[in-house]
Chain A
Amino acid sequence: MRRGMGPIIRATLLEAVRRREMGVVLILMGAMLALLLAARVVGLERPAAGTLLLNLGLTLTVMAAHLVTLLVAARQLPQEMEQRTLYPLLARPIARHVMVGAKWAAAAVVGTGFFYLFVLPVWWLVPRLECYDSRTLVQLLVLQPPALMLTAAIAILTSVYLPRALAVTVALLVVFGTDYIVRWATRWPVLVWIPNPMRLNLVLRYTDGIGPLSSVEFAALATWTLLWTAALLGQAMLRFERRPL
């Protein structure tokens, strides 16, 4: 890890944990877990109801993890600039790109931590009355961290070009809207290659009982995501290095 990244990551994590918005999201997720627990205690008779609940719980967890990552990442740099805390930070012997990298890493860590904190209780609480492929579940769990890294990179990139509110809006559209664009724009196959964190969301595949991706498909998807993450983050770093503050 580059020198200077650690303290910035720690400060960003501290902020994420202490912000009221995070408390609200945690309460909502807790309420969802309580509902799933109630369903488990009462007992579900119809297998389809169990699948529906599992799908709902896992989808909400994935969406919330991406939302948290996006919000943490997109507000970091604009907020530092608005409050002028950027100056004492950059007055230290650290390069600007190191700071961007640290903010990105912290957002990805927050999102990943959030995802694992909730995905396992959701999976455990919902009674599984139908057959699901556990190999697909493993792929789902493994592919989310790179997906969250891509979301953080998209949000960081928008935040070095745009003011906070606009950066959040554009990042939301890219992260959650690209999947719809790709689905509907079948005329332009090239769109399949644009950055799309939701493409790594295998919840539906898992709850539909479909088997795992082939190893080639899995590796290609992970590589494609990591390459886009590196490209977007690199561009954000380059832009921030050259930006007058």
Chain B
Amino acid sequence: MSIPIQVEGLTVSYGRGAKRVRAVQEVSFTVAEGECVGFIGANGAGKSTTIKALMGFIFPEQGETRLYGAPSGDPEGRRHVGYLPEVALYYPFMRAGELLTLYGSLSGLTRADLRRRIPIVLEQVGLGGRERELLRTFSKGMQQRLGIAQALIAEPKLLILDEVSAGLDPLGRHDLRALLQELRKAGRTIFFSSHELSEVESLCNRVIMIDQGRLCHEVTQAELQAVGRKQSLESFFISTVRGGAAT
């Protein structure tokens, strides 16, 4: 099978005329099968814009993005992808089970698959037994857990998670880390953005840093281990972005 993620010379701008802002400039990277890649950067650095372009929600001004060899706008490329958006307020009128049925059906799961998968993914994200509860009663953290469940429902080969730990309490973050470790061991390809750099450090075998719309550094597993011996990823990130020593 072809490479899960290919981003080639991606440039994305927002606005028109004098108000035109370049959010991402000539970003290129790939994510190979089975890799777990962290995508880090300050607020407004271009992480979510890159991910949106990757998913085909926005269109590049230049360059191209591909999922499993298919251009991002092509639904076929998304067949093996599970995606978690940065923030989403899932339908308050629905029950957790109904939401997962909707997303699972759209991914091509049969009724039998859904019956089998829904309790499993709800259990995986710590929402076991809440299948019949209305989403309007769910807290922000529970909504985020449900977001992860919908990304996992069709057992995708590639997970693209935007701000994966946003809204989760320490317990939730701990459970999420364990879940991602498990998925990684199972051979899933994971590409995620997060501000929780300790999480990125512990999970990823590669980290891509973005600053002001441009890729500023790519750290491999060996470098990460070397960095870990000397300083934390957070200190390394700050010194890379600010160009000086961090405390």
Contacts and interface: CB of A to CB of B under 8 A. Distances in A.
5 contacts: A87-B57, A88-B150, A88-B151, A91-B81, A94-B75
Interface stretch (B34-42, B105-113, B173-181, B210-218): B105-113
Interface residues of A, number: 25
Interface stretch (B1-9, B93-101, B199-207, B237-245): B93-101
Contact of A7 (B81, B86, B87, B105): B105
A18 interface: yes
A242 to B, nearest CB: 8
Contact of B103 (A3, A84, A92): A92
B107 A84 contact: no
B58 interface: yes
Contacts of A87: 55, 57, 83, 85, 88
A93 B93 CA distance: 24
B91 A85 contact: yes
Main DSSP-derived SS at the B contact region: mixed
| B interface, size bucket | 20 to 34
Contact of B107 (A14, A18, A90, A93): A93
B88 A15 contact: no
Contacts of B47: none
Given A94-B106, A95-B75, A245-B58, A88 B91 contact: no
B85 A15 contact: no
Contacts of A244: 57-59
A163 interface: no
Contacts of A93: 75-76, 78-79, 106-108
B102 A91 contact: no
A15 B93 contact: yes
Contacts of B138: none
Interface in B50-82: 52, 55-59, 75-76, 78-79, 81-82
B99 to A, nearest CB: 9
A45 B235 CA distance: 90
Nearest to B59: A244
Contacts of A15: 91, 93-94
Interface of A: 3-4, 6-8, 10-11, 14-15, 18-19, 83-85, 87-95, 244-245
A54 B23 CA distance: 61
Given A244-B59, A245-B57, A88 B94 contact: no
Contacts of A88: 83-85, 88, 103, 147, 150-151
Given A14-B94, A91-B78, A93-B76, A85 B106 contact: no
A150 B32 CA distance: 48
B89 interface: yes
Contacts of B106: 4, 7-8, 89, 92-94
A84 B89 contact: yes
A88 B143 CA distance: 13
Given A14-B93, A19-B93, A83-B88, A91 B58 contact: no
Given A92-B78, A94-B106, A84 B91 contact: no
Contacts of B90: 83, 85
Given A7-B102, A85-B88, A245-B58, 18 more contacts: A14-B93, A83-B89, A83-B90, A84-B85, A87-B55, A87-B85, A87-B88, A88-B88, A89-B106, A90-B57, A92-B78, A92-B107, A93-B76, A93-B106, A93-B107, A95-B75, A244-B58, A245-B57
A23 to B, nearest CB: 12
Nearest to A15: B93
B88 A91 contact: no
B98 A14 contact: yes
Contacts of A85: 88-91
